[in-house]
Amino acid sequence: MTTASQLPIVDLRSDTVTRPSKGMLAAISAAKVGDDVYGDDPTVNSLEERAAEMFGKAAGLFAATGSLTNQLAIKMLVKPGEELICDENSHIARAELGAAAVFSGITTRTWASQNGILKADDAMRIARPNSGVHLVSTTAIAIENTHNFGGGTVQSMAEIVALRQASLSSGMTMHLDGARIWNAHIAQGFELKEIAKYFDTISICLSKGLGAPIGSVMLGSKEHVASARVWRKRYGGGMRQVGIIAAAGHYALDNNLPLLKEDHRRAQILAQACAKVAPNAVDASKVVTNIVGIELGSLNIDSATFVQAAKDAGVWVGAIGPKYVRLVTHLDLTDELVERAAVVLADLLQKALVA
Ligand SMILES: *Cc1c(COP(=O)(O)O)cnc(C)c1O
């Protein structure tokens, strides 16, 4: 008999767990490099230009992480003592460990949402631009697309346009946390330039669904990117022959973008298998990209127990809250692995219903 321990692990904790493919490793080893702090690395320079061109922005800055590109961007938009507003479950508010306050003296206030889905009115209701001497002035708004903790949800273009129109008249700027903008682009079919034009700065990740081992790019005006380049160095984020990493980014853009639709299809398989046994825990109709949220609120199991039981059965998933578990599909999965995970997870949910 084959036991769970003899089968390959199905790792659904994140789309950051992928290993560089053979083709990507070949691109890395063939990369032309130079000292990027001197601006000499041709592979980094061409990746920055390529990303900027894709999004219709004037310039780009390569950095090690999406947290760093988010933080460099919002530093360009918000001065010390001013305020950034964002959704209460956004990565910037919850998962960057207070960096906006620590690095930039920025205060943050948040609006509540359902599944991270943007409603322009929710943001405008808490925005306080030009607040004078008594209140903190809101100077920028950050939007996450897709929304990670919201369950990979895609923002409505109409709400983004409405928010831009409402906020621009009082001088507020907008930042897009586009760590998974690629998934939104594939799911919704909009042009990258079309969405980018509503934002002053953008952060994109090559290390999520696109499968590069490292790498994010901040996009914006020439002035913002030049200043962010200085701050990147000041934080210790200047890298040298980093074309070996940028080459992986080029490879990901050349090859992996169309593969995201497979991730979305596989997330649907997982969502439907879970929803079939526990419709209160998973709403498959809300799963539109590569993230499946499992809400354990109505079941007799908590996240830690669920994660451990799944792990014992060879399936690794992530606990995002005490009663909320996240599954993420990615490049290193196969239909076979996904089918096996679906059986394991549905079985656990079934047991939690009757426990
Ligand atoms: C992953 C992620 C980031 C950046 O994360 P790093 O680990 O710092 O690269 C930013 N925003 C969102 C929404 C993310 O999911």
Fold of 259-354: Aspartate Aminotransferase, domain 1 (3.90.1150)
> Ligand 1 centroid to 237 CA: how many Å?
16
> Ligand 1 centroid to 91 CA: how many Å?
7
Hey, what are 202's tokens? Answer: 């953008």
Distance CA 24, CA 252 (A): 8
Return all residues near 216 (Cβ < 8 A) that are at least 6 apart.
Answer: 62, 63, 64, 65, 66, 68, 69, 179, 203, 204, 205, 206, 207
Q: Compute the radius of gyration of the chain from its Cα atoms.
A: 21
Q: Which long-range contacts (CB under 8 A, 24 or more apart) does 348-353 make?
A: 348/301, 348/306, 348/309, 348/310, 348/313, 349/274, 349/277, 349/278, 349/281, 349/294, 349/299, 350/277, 350/278, 351/301, 352/278, 352/296, 352/299, 352/300, 352/301, 352/306, 353/277, 353/278, 353/299, 353/300
Distance CA 49, CA 70 (A): 18
- Pocket lining: 91 vs ligand 1, CB cutoff 6 Å: yes
Hey, what are 147's tokens? Answer: 């929304």
Q: Block means of pLDDT (10 residues each) for the chain, length 355 residues?
A: 75 98 98 98 98 98 98 98 98 97 98 97 98 97 98 98 97 98 97 98 98 98 98 97 98 98 98 97 97 96 97 97 97 98 98 84
Q: What is the pTM of this model?
A: 0.97
Closest atom of ligand 1 relative to the 177 alpha carbon = 11
> Ligand 1 centroid to 69 CA: how many Å?
9
Burial of 22 (0-12, 13-18, 19+ CB in 10 A): exposed
| Nearest residue by C-alpha to atom 14 in ligand 1 | 179
Same fold, 22-255 and 259-354: no
> Ligand 1 centroid to 209 CA: how many Å?
11
Q: Where are the domains of the chain?
A: 22-255, 259-354
- Residue 269: closest CA among 320, 337, 332, 315: 337
Closest atom of ligand 1 relative to the 70 alpha carbon = 10
- Pocket lining: 179 vs ligand 1, CB cutoff 6 Å: yes
| Nearest residue by C-alpha to atom 5 in ligand 1 | 66
> Ligand 1 centroid to 67 CA: how many Å?
6
| Nearest residue by C-alpha to atom 3 in ligand 1 | 66
Closest atom of ligand 1 relative to the 205 alpha carbon = 9
The CATH number assigned to the domain with range 22-255 reads: 3.40.640.10
| Nearest residue by C-alpha to atom 8 in ligand 1 | 67
Closest atom of ligand 1 relative to the 146 alpha carbon = 13
> Ligand 1 centroid to 22 CA: how many Å?
25
- Pocket lining: 65 vs ligand 1, CB cutoff 6 Å: yes
- Pocket lining: 14 vs ligand 1, CB cutoff 6 Å: no
| Nearest residue by C-alpha to atom 2 in ligand 1 | 179
Hey, what are 15's tokens? Answer: 């789309």
The residue with tokens 């507020």 is 172
Mutate to test the pocket of ligand 1, among 97, 176, 177 (most ligand atoms within 8 A of CB): 177
DSSP β-ladder status, 83-87 and 107-111 = parallel
Distance CA 178, CA 334 (A): 26
